[in-house]
Amino acid sequence: MIDTVAIDVRGLHKRFGRHEVLKSVDLTVRSGEVVAVMGPSGAGKTTLMRCLNLLEEPDAGTITVHGRTVDCTSPRRTRHRSRVIRDIRTRTAMVFQNYNLFPHLTVLENVIEAPISVRRLPRSYAVEIGDRLLGRLGLTDKRDEYPSRLSGGQLQRVAIARALAMDPEVILFDEPVSALDLELGAEILHIMKNLTARGITMVIVTHEIAFAREVADRVVFMDAGYILEEQHPSVFFSNPATPRARSFLRLVSEGDGSPPELERTN
């Protein structure tokens, strides 16, 4: 697995009505790479992540995940296209900011649902995998609880376990700790750091500079629908190339960790 491409995005456009949220985004993520996506509120970070999983249909461009390509310029609902989309989704896992756990299923059932119905694992094997993951994430005693009984940090860990149970090649995180207090957030970041050691490709929208600096192989800085910079964290955080990134970093380091609103200067 030397330098295989995990994600390749070319010329991605996405508009909501007349509002063009992504304006020609190109991004390549290599297998095993950890990419931190940063940028001011409204930059299009969430939209980009959702496009990577085809939760949003881009208006133009191509998305390739581990060799499977969806051409968004011709949005025809063919059988082949749906199969490719499902294939991509099966290989990428998304950890949502608000977890989106299934409230009517227990923790374990949340984790094993897709492995059984999508990966077609036998139930007993899925349970084995599920229990192992729950153990790794310190959730063994919560196995048979419903999500309503769990704290935010526990919910996020279940969401991560659910994502890992699909044995994905890529995990997409959208602000994984922004809903958590500092302590719980640190715990989640620690778990994510451990994941990097396993060679899973990760794309993480985050405002945690310390975390990105430590964990990311690359920082992608977005603003107003464009990727303005891609840098190694050591470069990005000490010497960002664009004025936008400079003012963004100033705000983040002063702020409370929430996505800052950059004033439009143009």
Partner 1 sequence: MDHLVLSMPGLLRGLGVTIMLGVVSFVLGFVLGGLITLARISRSPVLKATAIAYVSLLRGTPLLIQIMLVYFGLPQLGVRIAPIPSAILAFTLYSAAYLSENLRGGVLAIDQGQWEAADSMGMSHGRSLRRIIYPQALRVATPAIGGRFIALMKDTSLASVITVVELTRVAESTGSSSFRYVEAFVLAGAVYWLINAVLSIGQAILERRMGRAYT
Ligand X SMILES: Nc1ncnc2c1ncn2[C@@H]1O[C@H](COP(=O)(O)OP(=O)(O)OP(=O)(O)O)[C@@H](O)[C@H]1O
CB 131 within 8 A of CB 140: yes
Look up residue 12 and give its two tokens.
Answer: 């991605």
- Determine the size of the site formed for partner 1 (CB under 8 A): 27
Decide the pairing of beta strands 34-38 and 5-16: unpaired
Q: Which contacts of 249-257 are long-range, i.e. CB under 8 A and separated by 24 or more positions?
A: 249/209, 251/40, 252/38, 252/207, 252/209, 253/209, 257/178, 257/207, 257/208
Which residues 6-25 are close enough to bind ligand X by CB under 6 A?
16, 19, 21
- 41's contact among Mg ion, partner 1, ligand X, none, with CB below 5 to 8 A by partner kind, is ligand X
Smallest separation, CB 133 to Mg ion (Å): 26
Q: From the CA atom positions of the chain, what is the Rg in Å?
A: 18
Residue 146 binds partner 1, judged by CB under 8 A: yes
Look up residue 179 and give its two tokens.
Answer: 């809903």
- Choice between 37 and 54, CB closer to Mg ion: 37
Residue 46 binds Mg ion, judged by CB under 5 A: yes
- 94's contact among partner 1, Mg ion, ligand X, none, with CB below 5 to 8 A by partner kind, is partner 1
Smallest separation, CB 149 to partner 1 (Å): 6
Which residues 114-143 are close enough to bind ligand X by CB under 6 A?
none
Residue 84 binds partner 1, judged by CB under 8 A: no
Stretch that binds Mg ion, among 19-27, 39-47, 50-58, 185-193 (CB under 5 A): 39-47
Residue 98 binds partner 1, judged by CB under 8 A: yes
Distance CA 53, CA 65 (A): 9
Looking at residue 141, the DSSP 8-state letter turns out to be G
If one counts every other C-beta atom within 10 angstroms of the C-beta of residue 129, the result is 19
Residue 259 binds ligand X, judged by CB under 6 A: yes
Distance CA 32, CA 46 (A): 21
Quick one: which of 34, 70, 94, 188 contacts partner 1 (CB under 8 A)? 94
Which residues 17-76 are close enough to bind partner 1 by CB under 8 A?
53, 55
Question: Which residues lie below 8 Å from residue 19, measured CB to CB, with a gap of 6+?
Answer: none
Tokens 């599920």 appear where?
130
Residue nearest to Mg ion (CB): 46
Residue 154 binds Mg ion, judged by CB under 5 A: no
Look up residue 219 and give its two tokens.
Answer: 């920082």
- Determine the size of the site formed for Mg ion (CB under 5 A): 1
Listed residue (125, 53, 37) closest to 95, CA to CA:
53
Stretch that binds partner 1, among 7-15, 100-108, 130-138, 204-212 (CB under 8 A): 100-108
Look up residue 126 and give its two tokens.
Answer: 């899925």
Binding site for partner 1 (CB under 8 A): 53, 55, 77, 86-87, 89-90, 92-94, 96, 98, 100-104, 113-114, 117-118, 146-149, 162, 166
Binding site for ligand X (CB under 6 A): 16, 19, 21, 39, 41-47, 259
